[in-house]
Amino acid sequence: MENQELMVRAAWLYHVEGLTQAQIGERMNLTRRRVNELLGEAMEKGVVRISFNSSLAENVDLEAQLCRRFGLEHAVVAPTPSNPDYMHAIIGRAAGGFLDRLIQSRRPRSIGVGWGATLRETVHHMTGTNEPEMRIRSLMGGLTRGSEINTFEIVHSFAKMLSAKCHYFAAPIYAGSEKAHTQIMAQPVFQEFLREATAVDVSFLSVGDVTGRSLQVRYGLPAQTDIGELVAAGAVGDLLGRYLDAQGCPVDHPLNRQVISPDLDSYCAIPFRIIASGGHHKHAILLAVLNARLATAVVTDAESACFLLRA
């Protein structure tokens, strides 16, 4: 009974009155180590039970469920904004913090990145550091016109934020034709690009949908491309510029034979593959990518996480 009384009293002083372990020790004439033991015992025996009255606690549970369901190493779930226009900023903030922690813990030698609004926002929310031996590489060709969401600006921004080396890939995301693609990819410089791109330790990409909200649809597709034909072929979105069906497999469409980026088998050789995207319009492609095990980590929003778990 004496130990039970000490345990309850120490737990009360710590959790209710907010005293430190040192203050509790002084008041109860106990060593700090003994107070720590009593508090641990109170938790173990259920004398103290902690609950979180916060939506963030629900997100932590969603993260664990996503990992179990899709075989992920990590999942980060951010609150869903009431205004969809803020989705890129919300996902970017969560992804920036995740990348900060990843870089500190894993010390990757190289990171491969794509392009887009989510990646732009991610850079804005990262903590600057000094990694002069790290290499930041483009994983795909980019837009043929200047934009802050283009691959060149994104790679440069990541390298600048990390004080790392920067490796561009100077090519459009799509060749003008299948024949042109064959000629381009036959060049040793492009073959070397593909080898180096898929030899990175970490990849960080977003996925694109097949609606008018997609930056890829608005800015990246070759002229006269009919997005309706892609949808008719079964496409639900793209990863690395490759349009995928609901099972995460490339659809049979000429565009997939014109894209200048690693094929999916080579991409999956990258040990740690992060996909960061959210919003209702990204649900189908997110589900396809996760079902096909094309990601080892995902950063998304709470509503998207719930959809993925219900699907």
CB-CB contact of 210 with 278 (8 Å) = no
Kindly report the backbone phi and psi dihedral angles of residue 200, in degrees, each rounded to the nearest multiple of 5, phi listed first.
-70, 160
* Spatial CA neighbour of 300 closest among 139, 77, 141: 77
Residues in the chain, total: 311
Measured CA to CA, the distance from residue 91 to residue 216 in angstroms comes to: 18
Per-residue pLDDT tens for 65-103? 999 999 999 999 999 998 898 999 999 999 999 999 999
State yes or no: pLDDT of 260 exceeds 80.
yes
The b-or-e profile of 95-116 (16+ CB within 10 A means b, else e) is bbbbbeebbeeeebebbbbbbb
Measured CA to CA, the distance from residue 198 to residue 203 in angstroms comes to: 9
Per-residue pLDDT tens for 271-302? 999 999 999 999 999 999 999 999 999 999 99
Q: Is 265 exposed, middle or buried (0-12, 13-18, 19+ CB in 10 A)?
A: exposed
| Per-residue pLDDT, 213 | 77
Report pTM. Answer: 0.81
Six token digits for residue 248:
């995460």
* Spatial CA neighbour of 58 closest among 303, 287, 286: 303
From residue 21, give the alpha-carbon distance in Å to each of 4, 26, 286: 18, 9, 46
Neighbours of 205 (CB within 10 A): 26
CB-CB contact of 268 with 250 (8 Å) = no
Q: In what order do the strands lie in the sheet with 110-113?
A: 74-78, 297-301, 272-276, 202-205, 110-113, 135-138, 165-167
- In this structure, the dihedral spanned by the alpha carbons of residues 169, 174, 180 and 185, taken in order and rounded to 10 degrees, is 40
State yes or no: pLDDT of 53 exceeds 60.
no
* Spatial CA neighbour of 222 closest among 185, 252, 260: 260
CB-CB contact of 34 with 2 (8 Å) = no
The β-bridge partners of 273 are 203
State yes or no: pLDDT of 146 exceeds 70.
no
Q: Residues 6 or more apart from 235 whose CB is under 8 A from it?
A: 210, 243, 244, 245, 251, 253
- In this structure, the dihedral spanned by the alpha carbons of residues 259, 261, 262 and 268, taken in order and rounded to 10 degrees, is -100
User: Using 50, 70 and 90 to split pLDDT, how confident is the model at 223?
Assistant: confident
How confident is the prediction for the chain on average, in pLDDT?
Answer: 90
Measured CA to CA, the distance from residue 62 to residue 77 in angstroms comes to: 7
